Amino acid sequence: MRIVLVVIVLCAAHTAVAFCGALGAFLDLVPLDVQEPLILFTDWSRIGSSLGLETLTSASPLEQRLQLVLSTTRQHAAASAYGVAHFSGHADAWGWDTADLDWEASIVSRALPPIYVLKLHAGFDFAPVAARFAERGFVQTMSHGAVVFQHQLELGADWIHETELSILNTAYIEAEDLLILSSFPAGIEAALDVRSGASPSLGEEPFVSDAVRHLGEAPLSATLLVGLGECLRFTTNPLLEVLGKIPTEEDVEAMRNAVSCSELLVPYRVLAAGYTTTDGHPTGSLVFEYDTPALAQLDLAPRRLLAEEGTSREFEAPIREVYFTVIDGRVEDSAIVLTVHPTEDQPRRLFWMISHRDAPFAGCST
């Protein structure tokens, strides 16, 4: 049975609030100065174990491998899911697929192209993968101890349509069974620079490491939004709501209420969402990291009220009917932590809510 580092514990690795584990290992490869990153993480090994698929690999029967992937639309969720749109033929085309992963993570930001980090099972045989790169004319070089495979974009090549475009720049670190992929060389170079110690990592940022710690038990999947301005993604502007029409009395009253409540909902540094399972049922965590405990305490009541009584704009229905119900809300250090139960036992609803900016309780005053 393979051993996977999946428990987030305190460890003396960083000068900031330290943490380790799979999500921490990924953040140790992300540049500290990345602008407003969206971080996505999935622990495939633990999801597979919960399904009785501990020894799953790309050599396993397709039916079993599909069981792993399809579970993320039901009792599980995958915030990051590299190549699943091409899953049925991915192993044949590239020599590996999701079943060969312990975990994966990705990051989207303003300055850098998306970067993916995939942790292969220990002892994974990379030779067939390298052979496919060679057959297709990838240029092989070395950088910071990693083997880097690169190819120019060729839309006419059959193999380019059998995975993600980020396959064009792939770094393999044999000692750590890691793949780092990006659609542009800059993404690979940035991650390898951080790994080599040439530049600091996002794992050294206290608000980020605190958010990971406050997610609690290592999440099966998680997403983090980092930056003071991220709360504006979820903030409704009543003026924009009435553009293109004559405002009614109800519209005017809504604008007045928004102004009168402007002292509520302070901007936070990080929003994190993740889930674990107990006896087959998911429990979600929503974390808001603030500058001080006082700010977190100030925001706890209004954010919890909006989470409990708010309405989804996307579905025009109560949040509790669409996304989750609140089990508990509390302040831990400088964070608000809401423990929630995903509606219909589907944790993917938490990530859908974040990606579609349909979380009014995560907004802030403007």
Q: Does a structural domain hold residue 147?
A: yes
Between CA 298 and CA 303 the distance in angstroms is 10
User: 190 and 56 share a domain?
Assistant: yes
- The residue that leads in pLDDT, 364 or 272, is 272
User: What end-to-end distance do the CA atoms of the chain give, in Å?
Assistant: 52
- With a cut of 90, say whether residue 345 has pLDDT above it: yes
pLDDT for the residue 257: 56
Query: Number of folded domains in the chain?
Result: 2
94 and 152 co-located in one domain = yes
The answer to whether 170 touches 133, Cβ cutoff 8 Å, is yes
Q: Please classify residue 18 by burial: count the beta carbons closer than 10 Å to its beta carbon, then call 0-12 exposed, 13-18 middle and 19+ buried.
A: middle
Instruction: Verify that 238 and 313 share a domain, yes or no.
Output: yes
In whole numbers, what is the pLDDT of the chain averaged over residues?
A: 88
Q: Decide if 9 is inside a domain.
A: no
* Residue 183 placed within a domain: yes
φ, ψ for residue 222 (rounded to 5)?
Answer: -160, 160
* Residue ending a domain, choose from 153, 174, 207: 207
| pLDDT of 233 higher than 50 | yes
Residue 11 resides in a domain: no
* % of residues, the chain, pLDDT over 90: 80
Residue 8 lies in a domain: no
Most confident of 2-6, 34-38, 118-122, 214-218: 118-122
The band of 19, judged by pLDDT with boundaries at 50, 70 and 90, is very low
325 in the same domain as 196: no
Is residue 195 located within the same domain as residue 276? no
Name which residue leads in pLDDT, 8 or 57: 57
Check residue 110 and give its pLDDT: 86
Residues in the chain: 366
Looking at the structure, do residues 201 and 293 belong to the same domain, yes or no? no
218 domain residue, yes or no: no
> Does 272 reside within a domain?
yes
Domain final residue pick, 175, 207, 239: 207
Which of 91-100, 199-208, 243-252, 303-312 has the weakest average pLDDT?
A: 243-252
Do 141 and 43 meet the contact criterion of CB atoms below 8 Å apart? no
Residues 6+ apart with CB under 8 A from 317: 311
Quote the pLDDT of residue 10.
34
- The answer on 239 and 104 residing in a single domain is no
Where residue 186 falls among pLDDT bands split at 50, 70, 90? very high
Each residue of 43-59: b (16+ CB within 10 Å) or e? bbbbbbbeeebeebbbe
pLDDT above 70 as % of the chain? 86
Asked if residue 200 and residue 237 are part of one domain, the reply reads: no
Contact between 58 and 65 (Cβ < 8 Å): yes
- Give the closest residue to 195 by CA, choosing from 179, 184, 206: 179
Q: Give the domain range for residue 126.
A: 22-207
Residue 35 confidence class, pLDDT cut points 50, 70, 90: confident
191 & 53 share domain = yes
Please indicate, yes or no, if residue 196 is contained in any of the structural domains: yes
pTM of the model: 0.88
Rg over alpha carbons for the chain, rounded to the nearest Å, is 22
User: 289 with 156, same domain?
Assistant: no
Cα(129)–Cα(324) distance, rounded to whole angstroms?
41
Last residue of a domain, one of 172, 207, 242: 207
Domain identity same for 195 and 295: no
- 235 plus 201 within the same structural domain: no
